[in-house]
Amino acid sequence: MNMHKYEKIWLWFGTVTLFVFLTVVGISAFYMGNKPPSCAVTIDPAKAAKEAPFNEPGLTQIGDNEYQLTVLASAFHFNVGDPEGIIEIPKGATVHISATTSDVIHGFELAGTNVNMMLEPGYISTYTNTFKNAGTYTLLCNEYCGTGHQTMAATIKVVE
């Protein structure tokens, strides 16, 4: 096939780039263990507030520098187990986040971190994150959920 020299260079460039990207994603997934949020576990949204672990939301230590954060979202509130909606996490801790909603679809975004999930009624969304940088992060809803959507927030402080 007669192909222009420049076209061949461009095709090689594209092919090599694709394989470099796939290799990086592969190493990230299989070697570094990075994976997207999971929502494989189901729950009855009407009973979510009464069933474990969502009957007692909040932060619990489960190991050496390892925590479980359970959050129950509902219109228009994140129940993080603290009346003020503030959670403190030590810097460098690995936190397994489990969250669900008892009513409509909510977002679960911890602005400035990689934590960004969708909470769907009937599903438990999970994500594991290591908090490498200290600071105050806002947990907010990024799925329009109703008239009080903009007030739906909590605070997560990563402390030294």
Partner 1 sequence: MTQAPIREPETKGKKDEEENEFKGTFIAVMLLGLFLIASWVGVWILFLVR
Q: Which residues are near partner 1 by CB under 8 A?
A: 4-6, 9-10, 13-14, 17, 21, 24, 34, 112-114, 132-133
DSSP 20: H
Taking the least distance from each CB to partner 1, the nearer of 133 and 150 is 133
Closer residue to partner 1, CB minimum distance, 1 or 52:
1
Nearer to partner 1 (CB atom), residue 64 or residue 160: 160
CB of 34 to partner 1, least distance (A): 8
Region of residue 135 (phi > 0: left; psi between -120 and 50: alpha; otherwise: beta): left
Helix, strand, or coil (residue 138): strand
What is the Cβ-side half-sphere exposure of residue 26, based on CA atoms within 13 angstroms?
Answer: 6
In whole angstroms, the minimum distance from the beta carbon of 31 to partner 1 comes to: 13
The strand order across the sheet containing 135-140 reads 86-90, 153-159, 135-140, 106-110, 116-119
Rounded least distance, CB 114 to partner 1, Å? 5
Cβ nearer to partner 1, comparing 15 with 55: 15
Whether the ω angle into residue 53 lies within 30 degrees of 0, i.e. cis, is yes
Minimum Å distance from CB 21 to partner 1?
A: 7
